[in-house]
A = this chain, B = another copy of it.
């Protein structure tokens, strides 16, 4: 049952088969226009025949350039990220790159470790919702191209989904429905989006002369985190809550139902990121999700950085809007 894998052919074997020099084979693959059409054909032919494909590793070592990029996210299984990953994937693919995926579990230490692990085999990295301290981000960005998603660090190219705009719409919507006290259920304290949403709630409630309270959920956003928070939210006297994300909002909804309180008649709930669509019961009002566009933009940015080594201070902002469904008004 033993079986040896045959080593893949090298550039030298192709050179021999095509009766040319190694450099000619190399050129046939990288800059064919430098060679006579006839030679190119002969080389490619031989390569085809031998099943030769340039060795990424050797090429990278020689040029110092990799055709890989890494995408690091806090939690693959959080429904927010797969569409983002998907979008990045698609662009990476078009560019004929390979994608490394890293999962930090919302842990800055783990994130730091991953950045280190990927370093040296990628052309650049995209950090989505990075939980790293600003200093670490700057340190990494000084050494290699980095693009941030949902993290605002001056001087580092970043793509920001401005959920603030959508959250302000949400507060206005709730105000119009007559709510006077609005609760915000928090997400990870290291999350830029969380801070942004919290600030938007503050700003909007103040402007509209409403009260707001914030209720802390556990560190990692989850259905259960939202659910156990329900009682506490109800005790604040709020009649409406905006949750850090849809998953938390979904749990909150369940927790409120556990208390026998009708949504939206006696309590209104708004989520963020609109990842659950109409699957909750009642269908969740939420702030729109532009993660796929963010993924696309991030790769485009990174791609630009790879072309021109000048570091540019790009701040790409995507606005969001409120998507009204049945948890706020029937």
A1 to B311, CA, bound (A): 7
Contacts of A4 in B (CB 8 A): 309
- 1/0 per position for A120-134, CB-CB distance to B under 8 A? 110000000000000
Q: If A57-B60, A76-B85, A279-B280 touch, does A120 touch B8 (CB 8 Å cutoff)?
A: yes
Q: State whether B142 touches A5 (Cβ < 8 A).
A: yes
**Integer count of this chain's copies in the complex:** 2
Tell me whether A76 and B89 are in contact in the complex, defined as CB-CB below 8 angstroms, given that A276-B279, A310-B3 are known contacts.
yes
Known: A3-B310, A57-B61, A121-B56. A86 touches B82 (CB 8 A): no
How far is the CB of A60 from the nearest CB of chain B, in Å? 5
Query: Do A311 and B3 touch across chains, with their CB atoms under 8 A apart?
Result: yes
At the interface, yes or no: A300 with Cβ under 8 Å from chain B? no
0 or 1 for each of A276-307: is its CB under 8 Å from B? (1 = yes)? 10011100000000000000000000000000
In the bound complex, do residue A53 and residue B309 qualify as a contact, i.e. CB atoms below 8 Å apart? no
Q: Give 1 or 0 for each of A99-119: 1 = CB within 8 Å of chain B CB.
A: 111110000000000001111
Contact A5 B98 (CB under 8 A): no
Does the CB pair B76–A82 fall under 8 Å? yes
A143 at the interface (CB under 8 A from B): yes
**A34 an interface residue at 8 Å Cβ cutoff?**
no
A135 at the interface (CB under 8 A from B): no
The smallest C-beta distance from A274 to any residue of chain B, in angstroms, reads 14
Size range of the chain A interface in the assembly: 35 or more
Give the distance in Å from the alpha carbon of A2 to the alpha carbon of B308 in the complex.
Answer: 10
Judging by beta carbons under 8 Å apart, are A120 and B55 in contact?
yes
What CA separation (Å) do A121 and B55 show in the bound complex?
8
A176 within 8 A of B: no
The one of B1, B83, B143 in contact with A312, judged by C-beta atoms closer than 8 angstroms, is B1
Contact of A100 among B83, B98, B142 (CB under 8 A): B98
Report chain B residues within 8 Å CB of A53: 116, 119-120
B85–A101 touching, CB < 8 Å: yes
Interface pairs (12), CB distance under 8 Å: A2-B309, A6-B143, A8-B120, A57-B57, A68-B100, A76-B89, A79-B82, A98-B102, A98-B117, A98-B121, A101-B101, A276-B279
3 smallest CB-CB distances across A and B, nearest first, come from: A101-B101, A281-B281, A77-B82
Binding site for B on A (CB under 8 A): 1-6, 8, 53, 55-58, 60-61, 66, 68, 75-77, 79, 81-83, 85-86, 89-90, 93, 96, 98-103, 116-121, 142-144, 250, 276, 279-281, 309-313
